[in-house]
Amino acid sequence: MDVRIYYEDTDAGGVVYHANYIKYMERARTEFFRRHGFLVAELAEKGFVFPVVRLEIDFKSPALHDDLLSVTTSPTRVGGSSVTFNQKIIRQSDNRILADGLVTLACISPALKARRVPLEIRQLLEAEIENIA
């Protein structure tokens, strides 16, 4: 997913505010599912919600106003009721990795009870992991 950095994304020093990287990663995960035919709102209507339960990010270099970034999303693990993605934020002009993160999502019901990852999503993620390996 591509992201253009606007003035509103930056802090007083002209650097992208750190919390915005989390927003870009969230959008990219949503787009990952959309690209594969799964809409987050429809999953929630069916009783499958995927909140972030663990987030680890290494900030390597700053993004600046008007940079064009790519956010990559690759599944690395699918468990019974959780999924982990590696996400990278890369500046397109020099292919520099600006942020590298691991994000784990739990699969829960709207009543906040753990649920198994739906079979069709499990199969998609396992196929993606296999393609990466």
Active-site residues, by number, are 11
Pairing of strands 52-59, 96-106: antiparallel
Q: 74 and 29 in contact (C-beta within 8 Å)?
A: no
Distance CA 67, CA 5 (A): 5
